[in-house]
Amino acid sequence: MTDSAPLNVLFLCTHNSARSILAEGLLNHLGKGRFKAYSAGSSPRESQQPNPMALDTLAHAGISIEGLSSKSWDVFATPDAPHMDLVITVCDNAAGEVCPYWPGQPATAHWGYADPSALEGDEAQRMEAFRQTLHLIRRRLEIFVNLPMSSLNKVALEKTARELAAT
**Alpha carbon of residue 127 to chain centroid:** 19
Burial 46-64 (b: 16+ CB within 10 A, else e): eebbbbebbbebbeeeebe
DSSP 40: E
Cα–Cα nearest to 70, from 117, 150, 12: 12
Please confirm, yes or no, whether 136 is among the known catalytic residues: no
Please confirm, yes or no, whether 91 is among the known catalytic residues: yes
Catalytic residue among 99, 149, 156, 164: 99
Catalytic residue among 91, 109, 157, 161: 91
CA angle 90/93/96 to nearest 5° reads 100
DSSP 146: T
Please confirm, yes or no, whether 8 is among the known catalytic residues: no
Catalytic residue among 10, 13, 18, 137: 13
Q: Which residues are designated catalytic?
A: 13, 91, 99
